[in-house]
Copies of this chain bind each other. A is one copy, B any other.
Amino acid sequence: MDVLQNSAKTPPVSTSREALARTPWLAAVPVATLDRLAELSMLHRMPPNSVLFEQAESPAFAQLLVQGSIELLAARGAEETLVEFVRAPDLLLPAAVLNQQPYLLRARVLDEATLVMIQAEAFRQAVVSDRALCLAVLACQAAQFRRQIKHAKNLQLRSAEERVGCYLLRLTEDATPGQPVRLPLEKRLIASQLGMTRETFSRTLATLARHGLRVEGDLVHLENAAAARARFQLDPLLDGPEPMLPLQIQGI
């Protein structure tokens, strides 16, 4: 079902240095620093389902996700629940690397991932010595924190039906009105992002037709925008994207 893959194509990178150069939120970081980081890092490509690290492992690398997407999962025995979903470009759990603490989550590749893997100690030293990098990482970490809070609020304050409704409604808002929208992921993955089982997700989809949202295969039709928006009130605080603009260094 390749139609479900992410279609945003950026030309593939072939070196760490190139990957760092293309990362928007590293734009303000001096070339010298990026050069040094690039030297101490490797560009890695990982297929879907690879596990990048396990819970309780101590980070050996700072991992910058350049292309693809990663699931961060809380695992206990056989159970697994998704705690964070990371899309490129972003750092994987910088908090663990910075604070020199073991990972709290398992990282598994969803869409084939390209990663810059930087020696953890080199990364920490670079953060300490380069102000712009420190600010960029701070902005990145802050944005991740806010995404996490949004995720928690979404789970705790909304019912399963509301989560699904808001998710679909948001999809349709991004697209051209009147046109059906394609689901960006397999249903089982959407279900896990929304914190419910596939079965519940499936049943919920069926009930949404009452509220003006009909889902047919992987196509979403907004049949009654007014009804849908009345039932599922999007909250910009929860449903909006979380922008990340590093603080600027002014002056000199």
Contacts and interface: CB of A to CB of B under 8 A. Distances in A.
A99 B141 contact: no
Nearest to A81: B156
A247 B104 contact: no
B138 A134 contact: yes
Contacts of A139: 98-99
Interface residues of A, number: 49
A250 interface: yes
Interface string A231-245: 000000110001111
B144 A145 contact: yes
8 contacts: A56-B237, A74-B156, A95-B143, A127-B135, A128-B249, A131-B134, A138-B141, A145-B145
How many identical chains are in the complex? 2
A83 interface: yes
B145 A243 contact: no
A156 B20 CA distance: 35
A211 interface: no
B148 A148 contact: yes
A44 interface: no
Nearest to A245: B99
